[in-house]
Amino acid sequence: MNKIGLYINPSKSHSFENAKRVVKILKDNGVEVYGAENTKVEMMETGIMIDEKKMFSESECIIVFGGDGTILEAVRKMGKNHIPMFGVNYGNLGFMAEVEENGIDVSLDRLLKNDYAIEERMMLDVEIDGFDSEEHGFTALNDVVISRGANTRLIDIKIYGNENLIEEYRADGLIISTPTGSTAYSLSAGGPIIEPSNDSILVVTPICPHSLHNRSIVLDANKEISVFAESKDKNLIVAIDGQKFFEMNQKPIHIKKAVSTVKLIKFKENNFFEILRRKLSERI
């Protein structure tokens, strides 16, 4: 690799210390390194090129220093380029972050030797009536969440698949999740865990449904999903990967499987369920 970008969450402890060490190793191996504008002050003496636009368009790999939220942020800023990336976990669970802090050196060595695999993750294209999706880039790796925001009233929700009514909910909100996002908010709301490599299904999970029988539904990802939500308070909120927030104003949302994918670099031989058991047991 000749060009590598570093996307760093400046709020994480030790992230800059490790990032500077990574820069030295990369530059000693003749790699050109890019950084983002928000790290200019901390990284200015390392000799990296501070140019976020080039980083997300010309890099052959992005190394993310942060948790899964930082990875989601990097995916959003990358847009349609979908450069392979891996995360150094500084978050809590870090299901997407491939490398722990003590494994940076080994992983970097394997990266430079091209000793890794790439796992592709399904994404969702999202259209909200009244918003320009081309301009805003509505693509979700984890989930699309419709909620009542600060409203006190429950939301009446209808969800359709290929124009056929699937279910009606009266709830605080609704989560439409990819397999990758099944271990995020959807899991907290009682949704099932799906292997993230699965690209054929998505999960619909109500948030605090006002019913004893409403449960999550697993749908064919090739269905085009439409969600209609109503509330007397009107100003409903839609969140895309917890990164972008919009007032729906009772406009319908249309969701379908994206053509593009996110490419995650994998070094470990551990399978998903080994990681899942370890990560969730850490929270007990």
pLDDT, residue 284, reads 46
- Distance from the Cα of residue 166 to its chain's centroid: 26
Q: Residue 76 has what DSSP assignment? A: H
Q: What share of the chain is helix, strand, coil (3-state, %, to 5)?
A: 25, 35, 40
How far apart, in whole angstroms, are the C-alpha atoms of residue 147 and residue 170?
A: 11
pLDDT by residue (tens digit) across 220-258?
999 999 999 888 767 788 999 998 888 876 778 999 999
SS (H, E, C) 17-49: HHHHHHHHHHHHCCCEEEECHHHHHHHHHHCCE
Residue 49, beta-bridge partner list: 34
> Looking at residue 91, what is its pLDDT?
67
Name residues of the chain where pLDDT drops below 50: 136, 284
Q: What is the pLDDT of residues 117-162, one digit of tens each?
A: 999 999 999 988 777 656 545 899 999 999 987 777 889 999 999 9
Q: What is the CA radius of gyration of the chain?
A: 20
61 forms beta bridges with 4
How far apart (Å, rounded) are the C-alpha atoms in residues 177 and 221? 10
Which pLDDT belongs to residue 214?
Answer: 80
The Cα-based distances of 279 to 97, 142, 251, 252 in angstroms read 11, 18, 38, 36
Nearest alpha carbon to residue 61 among 233, 277, 266, 284 = 266
Catalytic sites, residue numbers: 68
Residue 161, beta-bridge partner list:
164, 225
SS3 letters across 153-184: CCEEEEEEECCEEEEEEEECEEEEECCHHHHC
Q: What is the pLDDT of residue 93?
A: 65
| CA 96 to centroid of chain Cα atoms | 8
Structure token digits, residue 188: 């907290």
Whole-number pLDDT of residue 248: 77
Residue-level pLDDT at 134:
62
Give per-residue burial for 187-211: e unless 16+ CB within 10 Å, then b: bebebbebebeebebbbbbbbebee
Strands (E), 30-116: 32-35, 49-50, 61-65, 85-88
Nearest to 204 by CA among 216, 193, 194: 216
